[in-house]
Amino acid sequence: MNALDLRELHTMEDLDAVSRLYAGIWGTDADSPPVSAEVMRALSHAGNYVAGAYENGRLVGASVAFYGDPIGTTLHSHITGPVIGRGIGLALKLHQGQWALDRGIQRITWTYDPLIRRNAHFNLVKLGARPEEYLRSFYGAMDDAINGGDESDRVLTAWDLTAPAGAYASELPTDAVHGVRNHDGHPVIGPTDAGTVLIDLPDDIESLRRTDPGAARAWRLGVRHTLGGLLAEGARVTGFHNRRSYIVRRTAA
């Protein structure tokens, strides 16, 4: 990959290009992107983070974030859309992290669909972010190409910018049991009363939503019940095993 040029964006011309990029990534109509150029213009003008990644002068990724609660300590990253599989997403997140640190902010939060394996691996393993809260149907039903009419469950995830890189373990503890196991593409629900619980994810939930909506729904409900229940009880996600399983550790009584 050629060297990326990452920079903040302010002009309507640049922001229109971002809205078109987002529409292409999320598979929406050009006139209904996930975030409009007008909203990005307002966020940028108010001092929030709106940035793009360019390769040979061509926009290949963008990210939008705004100040969150508690004010002065947290940046909330609303949307990051890169060309997949080329390191652009990581470059954008590192740029966003440095932007935050330059302003005295040490924590970035965002939400993501807990069923998408590549996003879980990226967030937990590459960045070392930590899921904190399960949010049921956060945006309601979404009909874009990625979400495919599924309920928009999300996990709120926090990235401690002061934590050492690579400090987030993905090893499998010996006491782990499977709370959700992937068996021939379908979720099998198991016990969650052990100290460490594994929660498998489907191989490709986005494809499954198109080819087998019933199985996709079963995955949504199984992970919602298991991961959501454990997080609500105070358990912590401590890793992501073998690119497919959350490692959830119950806190000591």
* CA–CA separation, 219 and 217 (whole Å): 5
Has residue 22 got a pLDDT over 90? yes
Residues 6+ apart with CB under 8 A from 170: 124, 125, 239, 240, 241, 242, 247
Tokens linked to 156: 């709120």
Tokens linked to 164: 């050492």
Mean pLDDT, rounded, of the chain: 92
pLDDT in tens, 201-246: 999 999 999 999 999 999 999 999 999 999 999 999 999 999 999 9
Residues 6+ apart with CB under 8 A from 183: none
3-state secondary structure of 197: strand
pLDDT in tens, 123-179: 999 999 999 999 999 988 766 555 556 789 999 999 999 987 655 556 677 889 999
> Edge-to-edge strands of the sheet including 49-55?
5-8, 49-55, 58-67, 74-82, 107-112, 154-160, 130-135
Residue type, 111: T
Tokens linked to 93: 């997140």
pTM of the shown model: 0.91
Has residue 83 got a pLDDT over 50? yes
Has residue 200 got a pLDDT over 50? yes
- What is the average per-residue pLDDT within 56-69? 96
How far from 245 is each of 85, 176, 178, CA to CA, in Å?
20, 11, 9
How far from 161 is each of 105, 184, 238, 248, CA to CA, in Å?
8, 38, 17, 22
Number of Cβ atoms within 10 Å of the Cβ of 58? 11
Tokens linked to 103: 């302003």
